A = this chain, B = another copy of it.
Amino acid sequence: MTTATICTIGDEILIGQIVDTNSSMIAKALESIGVQVVEMVSTSDSAEEIESTLNRCSSKSNVVIITGGLGPTKDDITKTTIARLTGARSYINNDEQFAVNSRILAARGIEMSAINRDQSKVPDTCKVIVNKVGTAPCMEFQLNGALMFSMPGVPFETETALPQILASIQEHFNLATICHRTICTFGIAESTLSDMIEDWENNLPDNMHLAYLPNSILGVRLRISIYGTNKEDGEKAIDLQIEKLKDIIGDAIYGYGEDSLQKVLGDILLERNATVATAESCTGGKIAELFTSIAGASRYYWGSVVSYDNSVKINTLKVRASTIDTYGAVSSQTVEEMAEGVRKLLGTDYAVATSGIAGPGGGSAEKPAGTVWVGVSGKNFTVSKMFRFSGRRDININRFASHALNFLRLSILADK
């Protein structure tokens, strides 16, 4: 099996200032093309450490992927260190990267300085993979018989360049076939789901592997991998298992692959030629943010009123003051009036509203932190539901928002 090591370079990782998320992103991608990661290592911005780590990793695995240390400032020394290590004699300017960098700097209104100019210069021992979204190019080297890539450390630049890196690895190595499918589920907790599908899981073919990928916004995604068959047979075998799974968990399955609740909701709304608005209290704009993260959302998503203060619920959303006085802001009655209010205010077909206590403070015995009410209103119905969680503030907000989206999805699907 083709093996890889992943090296992240940067003092900010070693002092714990940032969490290294690149390694897991890269590992997932490598795994999807059948490359086995045998080690991840983070090292400091020190030439000696970088050299010894890269020598060790290139001797241990077929592929080495490095991220970080490519910034324009002088604490970043990955490029010069690799140049020395691979015996480079000179630096060559990469015209294509230079053009990208000129454009990026111009867009930001920054004049190109000498250190900016140096960013598109690369050691003569490398092949360049142009970074289209940042100023540091990706570089491909050979070291100790291993194929070695140096990538920028900014996660979205790493992510953008990754497909080209994978393509290059696939060109160099004869990789075993793996087919994957990700099934997106929502509303069933991981341990409950695991109990529900235990028999199904135990009866999967031997060359099929199941992984649980829980996420506070996306729900629990299930990744099925099948090894060593051709693509067509693999896909068929996976289809068969998904049909069986549908019989067990039904509409908890909301999509596949890179689907998200907001993407699937957008598709449902477009199909119905319907529009939606949101009224958010505790989620404070998170649902709006999720809707608008989809390019083209303006065709069905009209807007939101974030009513963090009760005055906004009453004056803008027209929730009755007596409703809040009698039942509280976190109640079935209030979220239903919020949902109706924003639907009428913005003139949409559907609306979803949230009111809850994200914590850590603000809870009571009856309504502890982690409690949220979600209301959904359409032309023919208004419904509400309570959910309760016990996470950290940011995790609670994510869960509130995703459960609101899922409740909206199920309510619209039920609205024939």
Q: Which residues of chain A have a CB within 8 Å of any CB of chain B?
A: 11-21, 23-31, 36-44, 49, 53, 71-75, 103-104, 107-110, 113, 115-116, 133, 154, 156, 160, 180, 182, 189-192, 194-195, 209-214, 223, 225, 278, 280, 282-289, 291-293, 295-298, 301-309, 311-312, 315-316, 345-347, 358-361, 368, 370, 388-395, 397
Contacts and interface: CB of A to CB of B under 8 A. Distances in A.
Chain A residues touching B, majority SS:
mixed
Nearest to A368: B107
Contact of A284 (B39, B43, B213, B288): B288
Contacts of A182: 17
Contacts of A214: 71, 154
A290 B14 CA distance: 27
A335 to B, nearest CB: 15
Nearest to A72: B191
A388 B107 contact: yes
B39 A42 contact: yes
Interface centre among A17, A133, A389 (most CB of B within 10 A): A17
Contacts of A297: 284, 308
A289 B289 contact: yes
Nearest to A292: B284
A302 B292 contact: no
6 contacts: A13-B40, A71-B190, A107-B389, A110-B191, A283-B292, A284-B285
A349 B148 CA distance: 56
B39 A39 contact: no
A191 B115 contact: yes
Given A14-B27, A108-B189, A305 B304 contact: yes
Contact of A211 (B11, B20, B110): B11
B308 A305 contact: no
B133 A195 contact: no
Residue with the greatest number of chain B CB neighbours at <10 A, chosen from A108, A192, A278, A292? A292
Contacts of A360: 295
A194 to B, nearest CB: 5
A390 B107 contact: yes
Contact of A28 (B16, B180, B282): B16
A284 B295 contact: no
A190 B119 CA distance: 13
A306 B345 CA distance: 12
Contacts of A37: 14-16
B312 A302 contact: yes
B295 A302 contact: no
